[in-house]
Amino acid sequence: MPFACIFVPNFPVAAVFRAEPELRARVVAIFDGKSPLEKVFFVNESAGRMGITPGMTKAQAELCTELTLRPRSPLQESVAHAALLDCAQSFSPCVEDAAADTAILDLAGMESLFGTLPEMARAISRRATSLGLEANVAVASNPDAAALAARGFSGVTMIPPGKEGESLESLPVEVLFADRWEGMEREGKKKEDERKKESARLLATLERWGIRHLRALAALPEVALSERLGQEGLRWQQLARGGASRTLIPVEAPAVFEEAVELEYPIVLLEPLAFLLHRLLEQICARLASRALTTQELRLTLELQNLAGTNPLCETAGISSESDALHSAAQSQLPAQHFVSGRQSKFCRTLRLPLPMLDPKLFLKLLQLDLNAHPPGPPIIKIHLAAEPARPRSAQGGLFLPPSPEPEKLELTLARIAGLVGEARVGSLELLDTYRAEGFRMRRFVPGAISETNRQKASVEEKSAVAALRMFRPPLRAIVTLENGELVRVVCSKKKEMQGSVLWKAGPWRSSGDWWEREAWARDEWDIVLQNADSAVLCRLVHDLLGGSWFVEGSYD
């Protein structure tokens, strides 16, 4: 039964590289600890060559001018770990979360999907790279041999069945204890220290015996080893021989797709923010793609620097209560919210898409347009992006179907137009169950399939044209001359065409409503023909019975 192990060497450094890929070519050290006792925790290869070693103080490391120092980021490490699990889950449903930097997966039965084992190993390596992780991949007939090979050999390693011992014999004995170091990240600090001490003691013992490679450990007599190191020693020997066998402890990786970046310096402009967002979106989309998922909702949370003098009260920007009342469903974005937690305020935007999509460029453009319309304000110190996973949409195309807008293009176009005319002014219509004037609301335009009943109804309704009304928004205030209670003349100061003598009239048609609410309305309507010098205009005249004013509401056209 084949197993594969994905191991990310120098995991804290790899997590930082994943967030800042431009650092890969530079000399980097990760420091940890409380100031002023910060110490170098991990270094990359080039830093090691320059003599920077873990354990140095930050002050000592800073003497190297070429060195780039970054603080250890548990947030980025957890995100990188999630990406590692996503990578493993994309190849097998049976994945063991062995350590923060190690995932072991059962490849049994996967050949028919992904090809031969070497092809699969290479594909895993490529997938890890696409997720921003430079990982070692090893395939062996048991999980522990695969894990040791992944820790010991860089790149892709294939261990044929039965040759585990020969393949692993050249590895140093330190690889046996590597999992102890990395796997303890999630345990308590005390246990971590205890295990570190235990590992160091055992390594020192083996060093004294002259055991430096697994070959030497495997060749030791079992009884003698057992007498000196106990059952634990025998287990190590089994591992060194590549003969240990166990069942995987599979984990169900949670479908949480979040990416975050903590900024060294606060960002003020939207352009550098877009640069970082693009990176986060690409990572999140790659993770979603690896799990064959898409997203329908993106949540952007920006942690803002709390500047002195800013109002610490919660603010609601953009469309808020009005959007709930009138355009709740019409908007693709929820209200922007500033809320304060402790000393830092947060700015949240939620991007809801009509259909599941997976296009980082599109998402970036939509977020950019949204942030242009609703700028966050204070400098940004942390970016957090989360995607709500959704199943990819399945649609059956047809040769004879009428054309319809592409959802991705349409979404971007609507966002651009919303930026142009206002968010509440683009969408489709929804009539409200009221006789009040302007009894409609705008809602989100989502191209949907026409129902069969509508088609049948439409075919029946193919009839003569219906006279349409053109509205004046806002309605034109009019001065109306009455003679013996009859309309004689109408004058609109704002529109010259809408004035003249009343040639013909029909009405009044009286209506009222909402008298039980504050916004009561009552009005009389006339359809009148206004004769002016140029032409005759047929329009609708309204008398507001509560306010007493006259308005020309629209013209028949």
For residues 64 and 437, which CB has a smaller minimum distance to other proteins in the complex?
A: 437
- Among the candidate windows 30-38, 195-203, 360-368, 430-438, which touches other proteins by CB under 8 A? 430-438
Rounded to a whole number of angstroms, the minimum distance from the CB of residue 551 to other proteins is: 7
Angle between the N-to-C axes of helices 175-183 and 143-152, in degrees from 0 to 180, rounded to the nearest 10: 100
Do 499 and 530 meet the contact criterion of CB atoms below 8 Å apart? yes
Which segment (81-89, 247-255, 387-395, 458-466) binds other proteins by CB under 8 A? 458-466
Does 459 sit near other proteins (CB under 8 A)? yes
From 200, 249, 269, 546, residue interacting with other proteins (rule: CB under 8 A): 546
- Give how many residues touch other proteins by CB under 8 A: 86
207 binds other proteins (CB under 8 A): no
Minimum separation from the CB atom of position 300 to other proteins (A): 23
Q: Which of 51, 93, 109, 447 binds other proteins (CB under 8 A)?
A: 447
- Going by DSSP bridges, is the β-strand pair 67-71/27-32 parallel, antiparallel, or unpaired? parallel
Residue 269 is a binding residue for other proteins (CB under 8 A): no
Whether 98 contacts 106, CB under 8 Å? no
How far is residue 278's CA from residue 261's CA, in Å, rounded to a whole number? 12
- The answer to the question of residue 475 lying near other proteins (CB under 8 A) is yes
Q: Are 135 and 165 spatial neighbours (Cβ–Cβ below 8 Å)?
A: no
Host H or E run for residue 553: strand 550-556
Cα separation of 323 and 335, whole Å?
Answer: 8
Distance in Å, CB of 331 to other proteins, minimum? 14
When the beta carbons of 254 and 403 are compared against other proteins, the nearer one is 403
Query: Between vectors from CA 338 to CA 337 and to CA 344, what angle results, nearest 5°?
Result: 145
Three-state DSSP class for residue 454: helix
- State the nearest-atom distance from the C-beta of 463 to other proteins, in Å: 8
Binding residue for other proteins, selected from 255, 256, 420, 482, defined by CB under 8 A:
420
Candidates 470, 285, 528, 493; CA nearest to 386 is: 285
Rounded Cα distance between 115 and 297, Å, is 34
Task: Report in angstroms how near the CB of residue 451 gets to other proteins at its nearest.
Answer: 9
Q: What is the largest CA-CA distance in the chain?
A: 124
Four-CA torsion 415, 421, 426, 432, nearest 10 degrees:
140
505 touching other proteins, by CB under 8 A? yes
Among 255, 438, 482, 488, binds other proteins (CB under 8 A): 438
Nearer to other proteins, 344 or 428 (CB): 428
Q: Choose one: 191-199, 214-222, 335-343, 443-451; the region binding other proteins (CB under 8 A).
A: 443-451
Instruction: Figure out which of the listed residues 231, 403, 433, 484 binds other proteins, where binding follows CB under 8 A.
Output: 403
Stretches 2-10, 183-191, 297-305, 454-462: which one binds other proteins (CB under 8 A)? 454-462
Nearest to 425 by CA among 376, 473, 372, 377: 473
399 binds other proteins (CB under 8 A): no
Site string for other proteins, 506-545 (x = CB under 8 A): xxx----------xxx-x--xx-x----xxxxxx----x-
Residue 317 β-bridge partners = 336
Residues 6 or more apart whose CB falls under 8 angstroms from that of 416 comprise: 369
